[in-house]
Amino acid sequence: MKIKLEEAPQTRQTVDEEWEMIQTDMIKVAEQCLGSKEQRRKEEWFDIDCEQALMERNKAKMELDRNRAQENIQIYNEKRKLAKKICRNKKDDN
């Protein structure tokens, strides 16, 4: 994909347009060399209950990172176990 300087277009482009061209060329070359990867399908078992449980777990983790008190450790462990249980049950049901 080397382009000689003489062959390069001499038009003025914005940084965004140049970046778009570079990005497009890099994607094309990567697909030629590596091939394309299939998109993963969305898991049917993952629903709002799983998402909410994971969000609560993540909030508890952030609080634990801010303050490593014993109470926060217990809260995080409970939220982590609950999120794991909810997602595992949803996954097993499907």
Number of independent structural domains in the chain: 1
Tell me the longest C-alpha to C-alpha distance in the chain.
Answer: 68
Can you give the residue range of the structural domain that contains 82? 48-93
Q: What is the pTM of this model?
A: 0.56
| Residue 81 domain-assigned (yes or no) | yes
**Cα–Cα distance list, 83 to 31, 35, 47, 80 (Å):** 37, 36, 12, 5
Is pLDDT above 60 for 6? Answer: no
| Residue 1 domain-assigned (yes or no) | no
Summarised one tens digit per residue, pLDDT across range 60-72 is 999 999 999 999 9
Average pLDDT value for residue range 85-92: 94
